[in-house]
Each structure stands twice: as structure tokens, then as C-alpha cells.
Structure 1
Amino acid sequence: MRTGTMKNAWMNGRLAMAAVVSLGLVGAAQVYGVSTAPRVQAPATAVAVVDVAKIMGGMELVKTESAKLKTDFDTKQKSLNGMQDKIKSLAEQVKAAPKDSAEKRALAFEQIKAEAEHKMTGELFQRDLNLRQGDLYKHAYTEIKAAIDQVAKQNGYQLVLRNDADVELPANISGQDMESFIANQRVFYADTSVDITEQVVQLLNNQFKAGGKKK
């Protein structure tokens, strides 16, 4: 009987000591700012990548509008070529005209006038082309961004990055350009399973064939 009482007392003492130690550890954790709450693991982020240049090149919108721009540019280029032919003809006439004659001076003036007109017209044509290309690319980029957003949400992606993992370094590159390249590198590796480029292109072209982007 006495042995059982001593054993129980010993066990109670061990339990009391364990409780004291546990309370001491909790108190120390609170004093030193260590959280005793169970650690919650952050949810995984679903990431996808896209090749914007490939999307732009595969868009029927860009192909169609670029073809229209080229047709218009070719027409204007023919006009410039005609002006250039006129300048060459005037130059030959100036050369053939009698020296110091009124005819030579008049032809020389016409040549200068034609050259100035050719230069000004060419600059205006180029400026118009650049502005129209800019408008096209701006419109296309807006469409691309909306399509990426739609595909990402439909497939549960929370982050979409521009894939530049396949960009190759130029053969000759300065130290400064190399630093800039490294600083601007976004993706070093991306498995094809997370590349949604083709899905975005397909969505954009389906919208284009349907007569416009999704409402």
C-alpha cells in the first residue's frame, strides 16, 4: 500500500514538472516574440507564361491590317518613284540645256522644287505609316491583354509572365548592354505545359472571325 502511494506521488511529481516546463517554454516564446500558433502553409500560385511576339505574329487582326497598310504603302511608294523619275529627267534636261541660259536656270529651279517635294512627301508618308502601325499595335496589345486575362481566369492561373527564356544573347554585346539584359530578364526557364501562347492566339482569332472581341 505504501509502495503504491509512493509511486502515485512520483508520477504526480513528473506530471507537475512537465506542466511547469511547458508553461515555461510558452512564456519564453511569448517574451521573445516567437509564435506558438500552428504554421499555415501559403497556397501554391499557378503561373503561366506567354510569348507576346508570337501572339502578335499569329493574330489574324494584325495580318489583315498589316496587309492593308502594305498595299497603301506600295501605292504611295509608286507615287514617290514617279516623282524620283521626274527628278532624274529634270537633272538630264538641266545638264543638256545651254550653259548660263534662262532655260537652264528654269529647269534647275524645277529640279530643286521637285526634290524638295519628293523629300517632304516621303517624310509625310513615313510618318503616316508609323502612326497607323502604332495604332494597330496599340489595338492589338489591348486585345492580347484582354485575351490573356480571359484564358488565365478560365484555367485558374493567378500569374502570367512574358516568356523571354528563349531570347538569345547577341554575338557582340557591351558590358552595359549585358547588365541591362540581365536586369530585364523575366523568365529563365518555363516548361511548355505552362505556356498558354497558343490558347491566347486561338481565342483572339476566334473572336476576330466572329466579328470582334468578346463583349
Structure 2
Amino acid sequence: MKFRNITILTAALALLLIAFAGVQATNMFAEPTAVAVVDIQKVFDGLKERVSLDAEDKTSREALQQEAKLRQEEIQALQEELKMLEGQAGTDQKQDELQMKAIQYQAWGKFMQQKQASDAALNIEQLYRKMLKAIDLVATEGGYELVLYKETIDRMNTADIQQLRLQIFSRKVLYNSPTIDLTNQVIQRMNNQYDNAR
């Protein structure tokens, strides 16, 4: 009888341990995560705000080219004036003025080039930050917990085998169902926000 009670008690403890281990095992596996993708390049290409920024950048570059042309013409006029004054008194002063204008032109050109590059970088960064906010909103509304970067890949444009391998190995998403691609929703949201802000 004692042996039977010990056997039953042992069997009951074994069942409890198995049940406890089963509960622990089910707790070890996380709930499925809702995943989506966004093609960042396609978003940039589809934004009205980017088109507007590009137009502003083009206008700015054209104005700088006009300013550069005026400064060059001023330097050329001084050079011609110096040629006409050659051998006369006062050429040293004109020569100094010409050198000063040339130095100012070079410094101005470098400064404006750096400023234009800095402004363009700032615009891209601000646009990217807006994009991240829009992705957050679209993903949250759709119940997605993770959004991955999807590359645009129409054709890998390279004849260099190393470059081709680099492009292949740097891919982040190899396949996704179109149902989890939030790209067009992000573009639509950002374009609507841009239109409403204007």
C-alpha cells in the first residue's frame, strides 16, 4: 500500500512538473510581431515637398550663377582697365583692387558652395524626420510593430562583380507581400500634410 501511494504521489508530482514545464514553454515563445516595409527612395521620389524643395534649390543655384557672372564681369572690367592704364601712374592701386576682387570672388564661391550643400543636407534631414513621423503614424494606425527598410531594386546597374555583391548583400528585405508595404500610404499622408500646410 505504501508503495502504491508513493507511486501515485510520484506520478502526480511528475504530471505537475510536466504541466508546469508546458506552461513555461508556452511563455517562452513571443507573440507574433506585425511587420511592414517602406521603400524610402520611393517615398522621397513621390513627395510634393521634395519637388518644391528641388525647385527652390534650382532657383537658388540660378541666382548664384547670376551673381557669379556679375562678379566675373566686374573682375574682367578691372583687368581691361588695367591693360589700358599699363605704364601709367596709379596702376598699383588698380592691381591691388583686382587682386582683392579675385580673392573675394574665390572666397565667396567656396562659401556659397558650402552653404548650398549644407542647406540641401538640412532639407533632406528635415524631410527624413517628417518621413519617420509619418511612418510611425501609418504603422501605429495599421497595428504594425516593426517597419523595415525596403530597397528599390529595378535593376542592379553595375558591371563590377564586387559592387554587384555589395548590392546583393546589403539588401534588407528579400521578399514582402504587397499587403504589408506601407510606402504609398506614407506618401499619401505626407503629401496631404504638405498640401494642408500650404
Contact 1:165 1:189 in 2 (8 A): no
Alpha-carbon separation, structure 2, partners of 1:169 and 1:181: 12
The equivalent position to 1:62 in structure 2, one of 21, 46, 50, is 50
- 1:85 to 2:82 alignment: no
Alpha-carbon separation, structure 2, partners of 1:78 and 1:181: 44
Contact 1:47 1:157 in 2 (8 A): yes
Q: 1:146 to 1:83 in 2, by over 3 A?
A: same
Alpha-carbon separation, structure 2, partners of 1:103 and 1:178: 66
Contact 2:40 2:151 in 1 (8 A): no
Q: Report percent identity of matched pairs.
A: 25
Give me the TM-score of the superposition, normalised by structure 1: 0.69
**1:110 paired residue number:** 97
Alpha-carbon separation, structure 2, partners of 1:111 and 1:171: 50
1:30-67 deviation line (CA, Å, top 9, x unaligned): 8xxx9344853543322111121221222222222332
Q: Any stretches of 5+ residues in structure 1 without a counterpart?
A: 1-15
Q: 1:171 to 1:91 in 2, by over 3 A?
A: farther
Contact 1:165 1:187 in 2 (8 A): no
Q: 1:113 to 1:181 in 2, by over 3 A?
A: farther
Q: RMSD of aligned C-alpha atoms?
A: 3.6
Alpha-carbon separation, structure 2, partners of 1:181 and 1:94: 61
The equivalent position to 1:198 in structure 2, one of 184, 188, 191, is 184
> What's the CA shift for 1:92?
4.5
Contact 2:41 2:152 in 1 (8 A): no
Contact 2:38 2:147 in 1 (8 A): yes
> What's the CA shift for 1:114?
1.7
Q: Any stretches of 5+ residues in structure 2 without a counterpart?
A: none
